[in-house]
Amino acid sequence: MKVILTSQGDSLDAAMDARFGRAAKFLLWDSSTQAVSVVDNQQSMDAPQGAGIQAAMTAIKQGANAVITSHCGPKAFRVLQEAGVKVYLTKAAKCREALQLFQDGKLQEASSANVEGHWT
Amino acid sequence: MKVAVASGKGGTGKTTVSLALAAAAETPCLLLDCDVEEPNCHLFTSAEPWRTEGVDVLVPEFLGEGCDGCGSCVRSCRFNALAGFGRKVMVFAEMCHACGGCVLACPHGALREIPYPIGRLEFRHAEGFELITGVMNVGYAMAPPLIRQLKTHLPTSGLAVLDCPPGTSCSMVTSVRDCDFVVLVTEPTPFGLHDLRLAVETLAELKLPCGVIVNRAEPGVPLIHDYCQEAGLPILLEIPLSRQIAETCSAGGGLLDACPDLKEPLQALLAQTLPGLLAGRSVAS
């Protein structure tokens, strides 16, 4: 499966970006190869509105089955849910830590957005 | 004559001046409350609406049939109001600027336009003038379509006063556009002056003539006068800083209830000063 983590940097050692829609970077982790690639989220960063919707579409286009982040707004959640992408929320500071929690089955799937739109 | 009352800074007295102009007018006057996010002219009249009109914009609806997932609609929207994946498009109507672009962009007829309610217009027979208030729905953020609908009720002749939203963004521009004259209400504070400058610059872009009313004017505080002199702007009226005016307005009264002496200068402003400035302008240009 493919998992997206919201990150402030280019590797699993980077800090998590707490925001989904306006996350600096997406790290795409592939469970079959254990490979990590960096996905640009600049388009959403620059969007005057609808960053969450844009970011959700980016995640879907990458073929992600799940998203791991700290905060997900209502519109992004709706799009991800509609496309069958699961959302996992974590307070982990580092991406590697978050991924480990996920692999250990310690992250619970979110059933709704956990912040309002325009959360910063 | 269409007179817009604007300010730049909020809370300078646009509504107070708009209501006083409408009440003082010697000819029939229509007052439009264009501050649709927070309309307040109606708070100063006991009249209930005799008519209410809903205002919609047209937003896309995804029909499904025909969609081949080409993504043309999603790419055409610069406001991210559409999300698409596979052969599915999700519409976020509250983000939509109602441009209709996505419906045109779809080569397969998989989208159509449907009405989306954004607010209402309320019509009141107020004391001495007619009032139409634009009221935007809570949760909706785009005022211009509602203001444009409100302005379709402007008469082709006669006097209309438009109480405009504060600031200098789209909603203010939409309100003042096509008016004959803009009365800028300000106060003699650095903040008032700062935002007055912004409003004057905006109106210069729009090529709209304007003049200034100094509210809460105090003797010996010349900063607005100095600026107006420098910018070549007429000072149309000064309303003194007065506890009595504040108390009267707080109790739901009007400026003229507190200061009946201002009625004549306001009438002169509408009947002579503004027509004179407009005539001079057309001669000059």
Greatest alpha-carbon span in chain B: 72
φ and ψ of B106, to 5 deg: -70, 120
- Whether residues B84 and A51 touch (CB distance < 8 A) is answered with no
Beta bridge partner(s), residue B52: B122
The region, left, alpha or beta by phi > 0 then psi within -120 to 50, assigned to residue A63 is left
Strand, coil or helix: B79: coil
- A2-103 is classed in which CATH architecture? 2-Layer Sandwich (3.30)
How far is C-alpha B85 from the chain's CA centre?
Answer: 40
Q: What is the CB neighbour count within 10 angstroms for residue A103?
A: 12
Any idea which residue has 């007619």 for tokens? B130
Q: What is the pLDDT of residue A70?
A: 94
Query: Is A45 in the B-facing interface, judged by CB distances under 8 Å?
Result: no
Interface test with A, best of B79, B85, B88, B170 (most A CBs within 10 A): B85
Give the C-alpha separation, A114 to A10, whole Å: 26
State the pTM of this model.
Answer: 0.83
Give the C-alpha separation, B59 to B68, whole Å: 21
Mean pLDDT of the B217-235 span? 94
Mean pLDDT of the A29-45 span? 92
Give the pLDDT confidence of B204-223 residue by residue, as tens digits: 999 999 999 999 999 888 99
Q: What is the CB neighbour count within 10 angstroms for residue B142?
A: 19
Give the C-alpha separation, B106 to B77, whole Å: 11
**Quick one: pLDDT band at residue A113, thresholds 50, 70, 90?**
confident
Give the C-alpha separation, B121 to B44, whole Å: 17
Give the residue on A whose Cα is nearest the Cα of B80.
A50
Q: What is the pLDDT of residue B281?
A: 76
Structural domains in chain B?
2-47+126-284 (3.40.50.300), 56-117 (3.30.70.20)
Contact predicate B236/B17, CB 8 Å: no
- Whether residues B92 and A48 touch (CB distance < 8 A) is answered with no
Contact predicate B111/B60, CB 8 Å: yes
Any idea which residue has 């490979």 for tokens? A35
Q: Which residues of B touch A47 (CB under 8 A)?
A: 80
Q: Quote the percentage of chain B above a pLDDT of 70.
A: 99
Indicate the residue of A47, A51, A56 with minimum beta-carbon distance to B83.
A56
Q: Which residues of A touch B88 (CB under 8 A)?
A: 82
Q: What are the extents of the domains in chain A?
A: 2-103
Indicate the residue of A49, A79, A83 with minimum beta-carbon distance to B95.
A49
Give the residue on A whose Cα is nearest the Cα of B97.
A49
